[in-house]
Amino acid sequence: MSDLSLKKIHKSFGNVPVIHGVDLEVKSGEFVVFVGPSGCGKSTLLRIIAGLEEATKGTIEIDKEIVNEVIAAERGVAMVFQSYALYPHMTVFDNMAFSLKNAKVNENEINERVKEAASILQIDDYLERLPKQLSGGQRQRVAIGRAIVRNPKIFLFDEPLSNLDAALRVQTRIEISKLHKQLKSTMVYVTHDQIEAMTLADRIVVINNGIIEQIGTPIELYSDPQNKFVAEFIGSPKMNILEVENNNKLIIKNEEIKPNTSKIGIRPEHILISNEDNFKLSGKIRHLENLGEHLLTYISLENNEEIIAKVDNVGDRKIGDKINLFWDSSKIHYFNKENKRI
Ligand SMILES: Nc1ncnc2c1ncn2[C@@H]1O[C@H](COP(=O)(O)OP(=O)(O)O)[C@@H](O)[C@H]1O
Ligand SMILES: [Mg+2]
């Protein structure tokens, strides 16, 4: 278990800056997830922690020790990649044992560590197989096993589930979470999938264009996003944003909009259908998606903006129906012109 600290990290490739001053403290044993759109700098930041890229400016500390000059193999970190990166000509056992053999660990200990990791990951039966004789999910376990045997201070995962099909992704996600509880190691995990982030993280770091937009627990980011980017990134379907600055655009009844508000946000799951006169918005159903328990209702408002409501799947709703909407005012998020929460 280990602390990790990033101080004012900048990174440029050539003269193109991609990370613009990142500060982050990860506590020992914490599971921290970096989430953000493709290209925002997640992998670069992870590779800087691993020692696979050099920071242009700033310091990286592991256990209070500056490691900028320490090579990857000696940082005590182990990284698991999306591509698995297994050696194709080596058995599962040899893949897992490889880094230990390189480090001249004695044979008995190698045997013990590989067997233990294999048992945690339930791949004991495959130790003599080659990677090509395994399914994608099994290969990813071997890649995780290869990290476990090294007994690293910090595990780094870069989108480890992206190559798996949907069902296996859910299953492996749960296993990684259990693994964290069992090993109690510090883990930094990169994903562009906000559901993975929400379900795995102690804390989530939302990254956008090489800066941190917000750091918080999953529930803090969901209930208290600091800006429009985080508000829209966390939650699915994403938060509805309505322009309220110009009254000619949209008339919301029975709602007192804060002064200086340029936009309001309301999550689809917080919109209710109203049969009474105290509704706030009205519109027409344009499209319906039946999720079983819930119905995603796409509604076009009087000013032609569209909004999505996730409502209980009761009653008989059809495209073209007029519909009145309501919500609890405490569920509204207010944003100013700069898209900061107010
Ligand atoms: N080796 C490299 N050389 C030049 N540009 C790079 C290199 N690696 C990444 N980049 C650029 O840095 C930005 C961040 O990339 P990356 O960290 O891979 O994003 P993410 O993992 O969030 O999708 C992107 O614009 C990418 O094109
Ligand atoms: Mg990446």
> Which pLDDT band holds residue 252 (cuts at 50, 70, 90)?
confident
Ligand nearest to the CA of 207: 1
pLDDT > 90 in the chain, percent: 81
Tens-place pLDDT, residues 283-338:
999 999 999 999 999 999 988 889 999 999 888 889 999 999 999 999 999 999 99
**Torsion angles phi and psi, residue 65, rounded to 5:** -110, 130
Name the amino acid, one letter, at 123: I
CB-based neighbours (< 5 A) of ligand 2, an ion = 43
Cβ–Cβ < 8 Å for 172, 136: no
pLDDT of residue 211 exceeding 60:
yes
**Cα–Cα distance between 334 and 342 in angstroms, integer?**
5
> Which pLDDT band holds residue 181 (cuts at 50, 70, 90)?
very high
Domains of the chain: 4-231 (3.40.50.300), 240-335 (2.40.50.140)
Cβ neighbours of 177 (radius 10 Å): 15
**Cα–Cα distance between 178 and 202 in angstroms, integer?**
13
By alpha-carbon position, which residue is closest to atom 2 of ligand 1? 13
pLDDT of residue 247 exceeding 60:
no
Mutate which of 35, 44, 54 for ligand 1 pocket (most atoms within 8 A of beta carbon): 44
Cβ neighbours of 261 (radius 10 Å): 17
The pLDDT of residue 298 is 97
Q: What is the mean pLDDT of residues 255-278?
A: 90
Token pair in block for residue 291: 């999720």
Lowest mean pLDDT among 102-116, 132-146, 158-172, 214-228: 158-172
> Which pLDDT band holds residue 6 (cuts at 50, 70, 90)?
very high
Model-level pTM?
0.93
Within 6 Å (CB) of ligand 1, which residues are found? 13, 18, 36, 38-44
By alpha-carbon position, which residue is closest to atom 27 of ligand 1? 39
Of the candidates 235, 240, 222, 237, the residue with the CA atom closest to the CA atom of residue 295? 237
Tens-place pLDDT, residues 46-85:
999 999 999 999 999 999 999 999 999 899 999 999 888 8
Helix axes 136-148, 92-102, angle to 10 degrees: 20
**Sign of torsion, CA 13 19 20 26?**
negative
Cβ–Cβ < 8 Å for 4, 65: no
